[in-house]
Structure 1
Amino acid sequence: MSTPADASPGRTPHRPGRRPEWAGRNYVLLTAATVVTNLGTHGALIATTWAVFESGGDAGDVGLVAMARFLPLVLFLLVGGAVADRIPRHRVMVAANVLNCVSQAVFAVLVLTGEAQIWQMMILTGLCGTGQAFFNPAAEGMLLSTVTGEQASRAFAVYRMAMHGASIGGAALGGALVAFVGPGWVLVIDAVAFALAGGLRAFLDVSGIPDRAPGGGLFADLRDGWREFVGRPWLWSIVAQFSVVVGLIGAVEAVFGPMVARDELGGARPWGIALAAYGAGTVAGAVLMARWKPRRMLFVGTLCVFPIALPSAALAVPLDVVGLTAAMFVSGVAIEVFGVSWMTTMHQEIPEEKLSRVSAYDWFGSTALLPLTTALAGPAESAFGRSEALWGAAALMTLVTALVLLVPDVRNMTRRPRSGKPGGTPPVPETALSGTGAGTAGSPDTEGALRRNG
């Protein structure tokens, strides 16, 4: 099941004084493209909210536009994962980037001309969500296929460090540009970023990735991915947890955060600073994880989910900009410890040829409630009050995180020494395979953790 480290796709022999052995051509291209898209996207998220405000929309309209983005993301994720395991993943990624580029360009034109209406925004953000539904499983599968060997955890940490570093710049720049030149030009920047990133991803080399045996069709692939998913208690339990956590974070960041910033903190710029602080926290967390390899990854990662509730609590008070920024920074550090651990677990436990399918079920479960929570954010504010809704979100995040610690695999799974291609499970003692799905034994000899992006 293993291949030499220098035979993996996109890898080059290590030379003293040059980039690390694990940072091959594909890895560099994937990282560079992700930096470009994150610079644009994190500014565009702020711009979209303020475009709704400028068109006369309220919290309910912000929630509807956010829902329009998340709904197709949820609906098409499973299909996107199956497609990405059947055809070259880089083609799926480039096609998704093209769709995102076109939809954001049209959105920008409508905003700049003052013609944007809520229904148009919903359609265009829906197209963007559709692109992401196909892009996310393909991108995760491509990255996990690119990295091999004992340095996988460090490679994922450096990748996420670059990704979140771009998030800092994108959020800070986006908030400032929305305040000074308006949201339309920020959307233009996002469209250009998708075009550049698609060009970079078109040069990915997939010649070294093993050919996948033809399956029994799209639905057979989906059934196979489902069996892989439900056979791992650590996987489905944490995905169920994050269905709630991500849904609530989506409502907080897409609706409540901008509303509190507008009404209590002075506008888009303070919210951009807070998002940038979150990005800074993720970079700090990635630096930490580049050196720290906790043995019980899932347990440590899950403990680090508790601080994710801090921003909701800070907005509920609400704290001033300094307090909110501190809460966002701590949350960023914590989620990055969790995120690197999760990617390392997926790399360790899931066969390479099934990475995108399993990732699709992960993404689907984790984002399933986003359309509902973002659409209900406005009505919840009206029914219970903004502060009460935010306190409720913080309490619910804490509760589901505590519950997932009851799963034995989450507490006991451990890191295994390994080499070779991702997903190739090395031999383990027969006693370690009793009672659970392959590669996720309920003994102290296996491990896992969770990825979530900002």
Structure 2
Amino acid sequence: MSRPAWAGRNFTLLTGATVIAGLGSSGALIAAAFAVLGSGGSATDVGLVATARTVPLVLFLLIGGALADRLPRHRVMVAANALNCVSQGLFALLVLAGEPQLWQMALLAALGGTGQAFFAPASEGMVLASVAGEHSGRAFAVFRMGMNGANIGGAALGGALIAAVGPGWVLAIDAAAFALAGALRAFLDVSGVPERAPGGGMLHDLRDGWREVASRPWLWAVVAQFAIVNAVVVAAEAVYGPMVADEHLGGAKPWGLALAAFGAGTVGGALLMTRFKPQRLLLTGVLCVFPLALPSAALAVPLSAAWLTAIMFGTGIAIEIFAVTWMMALHQEIPEEKFSRVSSYDWFGSLAVVPVATALAGPVQDLIGRTAALWGCSALIAVLTAGVLCVRDVRRLVRQDTTTSSQSTTRSCGTSPTPSSNPSPPSNPSPDHSR
């Protein structure tokens, strides 16, 4: 099947690289846990290795964002892919050789998290920059369909391969996937990218990025909202969800089905966004965050596995609509030269509280009970989302008509100009909040 006329070479390379990396990484996350358990580790050890990946991811995000605004972003992405390839390859060798030590697995997981910290801010906006402005919404939706589909398929394939050949080979496949994804990104056409002017130093760049975030109420309000929303969602799904499933829903199988339904919903939401073009981007997107409160409520009741699966599917659709509208708003409002710095602050806000929430989930359950904790998660999401709707700019930010906009700036990847609708203070994007 021929690709659409608007999907040029860069878009195809970026989407293909993301699908390949997603197929490998989704299975590798499962494989790392089973590698720890297979070496005699406990559930606590699995958590330590997971934390070892998260900590450098949070610590280096801001530096990664500043660096990506100083250097060609595609080079930062390729270098990060190379680091992930090496770390996963060494992880695979340790597991296949037998008797990997916990500190070795934690160190390699930390290297992987470091690579992601530099990759994420550099990658923000690259996809939307690879197509003309009038096609940005459809392009990002198609990209998200590929990414979400790869995550679902990669998890299913990874689980099957772990059972068949063991976690070491799945980690090796992930290393190869990073190598191939990096090679594809190395072939991006950046001939039209303007030279970046030298900045005033790393700290200056970080302060400049923070000023851009703080100067836009709609931006910092949503980032602050998701700092808590992401944390309570992860706590509910990673800690409380499996326990409710084990006691009331029939075990791991129905819980896995519910999580898969959420993933399928995100694919459906991305498909919907290839056609749906809302005028009020943030109002539409933020309204679609309210359904994120429903899974925690369903676990608190608890509803049957069938109802939980249906709710998770609907929630996946809604949150994917938010993800696409959010990225479109960022792409429209934030100048290219500061995009990665603001993106890094968004990623930082989205991830920084997650380890704290997961660590406190158990003590909170002991203090007030699991049901009350789940209702609390649901209430926090609803209250914070309602609070963000009180921000005037969230309600009023309108999708710009790219055919009449008088402001335009050449984005990265050497593509045709796309508009920047806010000529006053520049700004930068944030991470994918659908996570």
Which TM class, normalised by the smaller chain length?
0.7 to 0.9
Structure 1, 67-76 or 110-119: larger mean CA deviation? 110-119
Q: 1:256-308 deviations in whole A, cap 9, x for unaligned?
A: 44565667667766555433322211111011111111111111111111222
Residue 215 of structure 1, CA deviation? 1.5
Corresponding position of 2:69: 85
Structure 1, 42-51 or 195-204: larger mean CA deviation? 42-51
Q: 1:61-85 deviations in whole A, cap 9, x for unaligned?
A: 4443332222211111111011111
Identity of paired residues, percent? 64
Structure 1, 393-402 or 17-26: larger mean CA deviation? 17-26
1:87 is paired with a residue of what secondary structure?
A: coil
Q: What is the letter of the counterpart of residue 239 of structure 1?
A: V
Corresponding position of 1:170: 154
1:155 corresponds to 2:139:
yes
Query: CA 1:247–1:49 in structure 2 vs 1: closer, same or farther (change >3 Å)?
Result: farther
Q: Return the alpha-carbon distance in structure 1 between the equivalents of residues 369 and 32 of structure 2.
A: 24
Corresponding position of 1:452: 433
Residue 214 of structure 1, CA deviation? 1.6
C-alpha RMSD over aligned residues: 3.0
Kindly indicate whether the alpha-carbon contact (under 8 Å) linking 2:346 and 2:431 is maintained by their aligned counterparts in 1.
no
1:398 corresponds to 2:379:
no
Q: Return the alpha-carbon distance in structure 1 between the equivalents of residues 255 and 158 of structure 2.
A: 10
Query: CA 1:261–1:45 in structure 2 vs 1: closer, same or farther (change >3 Å)?
Result: farther
Corresponding position of 1:364: 348
Gaps of 5+ in 1: 1-16, 441-447
Query: CA 1:281–1:65 in structure 2 vs 1: closer, same or farther (change >3 Å)?
Result: same
Kindly indicate whether the alpha-carbon contact (under 8 Å) linking 1:46 and 1:175 is maintained by their aligned counterparts in 2.
yes
1:206 corresponds to 2:187:
no
Corresponding position of 1:278: 262
The match for 1:294 among 278, 291, 302 is: 278
Corresponding position of 1:44: 28
Kindly indicate whether the alpha-carbon contact (under 8 Å) linking 2:77 and 2:123 is maintained by their aligned counterparts in 1.
yes
Q: Return the alpha-carbon distance in structure 1 between the equivalents of residues 293 and 218 of structure 2.
A: 22
Q: Return the alpha-carbon distance in structure 2 between the equivalents of residues 80 and 274 of structure 1.
A: 35
Gaps of 5+ in 2: 412-417
Q: 1:135-166 deviations in whole A, cap 9, x for unaligned?
A: 00111142233233211111111111111111
Residue 316 of structure 1, CA deviation? 4.3
1:425 corresponds to 2:407:
no
Kindly indicate whether the alpha-carbon contact (under 8 Å) linking 1:341 and 1:450 is maintained by their aligned counterparts in 2.
no
Q: Return the alpha-carbon distance in structure 1 between the equivalents of residues 247 and 93 of structure 2.
A: 28
Give me the TM-score of the superposition, normalised by structure 2: 0.87
Q: 1:232-273 deviations in whole A, cap 9, x for unaligned?
A: 100001000011112223334444445656676677665554
Q: Return the alpha-carbon distance in structure 2 between the equivalents of residues 363 and 218 of structure 1.
A: 18
2:169 is paired with a residue of what secondary structure?
A: helix
Q: Return the alpha-carbon distance in structure 2 between the equivalents of residues 452 and 392 of structure 1.
A: 21
Corresponding position of 1:7: none
1:407 corresponds to 2:388:
no
1:291 is paired with a residue of what secondary structure?
A: coil
Corresponding position of 1:337: 321
Give runs of aligned pairs for residues 317-332 of structure 1, distance below 5 A: 317-319=301-303, 321-332=305-316
Give runs of aligned pairs for residues 343-382 of structure 1, distance below 5 A: 343-381=327-365
Query: CA 1:222–1:36 in structure 2 vs 1: closer, same or farther (change >3 Å)?
Result: same
Give runs of aligned pairs for residues 209-224 of structure 1, distance below 5 A: 209-224=193-208
Corresponding position of 2:415: none
Q: Return the alpha-carbon distance in structure 1 between the equivalents of residues 166 and 244 of structure 2.
A: 19
Kindly indicate whether the alpha-carbon contact (under 8 Å) linking 2:270 and 2:321 is maintained by their aligned counterparts in 1.
yes
Kindly indicate whether the alpha-carbon contact (under 8 Å) linking 1:31 and 1:159 is maintained by their aligned counterparts in 2.
yes
Query: CA 1:152–1:252 in structure 2 vs 1: closer, same or farther (change >3 Å)?
Result: same
Kindly indicate whether the alpha-carbon contact (under 8 Å) linking 1:46 and 1:272 is maintained by their aligned counterparts in 2.
no
2:133 is paired with a residue of what secondary structure?
A: coil
Corresponding position of 2:123: 139
Residue 352 of structure 1, CA deviation? 1.1
Q: What is the letter of the counterpart of residue 247 of structure 1?
A: A
Count of aligned residue pairs for this structure pair:
424
Query: CA 1:161–1:236 in structure 2 vs 1: closer, same or farther (change >3 Å)?
Result: same
Give me the TM-score of the superposition, normalised by structure 1: 0.83
Q: What is the letter of the counterpart of residue 141 of structure 2?
A: A
Kindly indicate whether the alpha-carbon contact (under 8 Å) linking 1:67 and 1:375 is maintained by their aligned counterparts in 2.
no
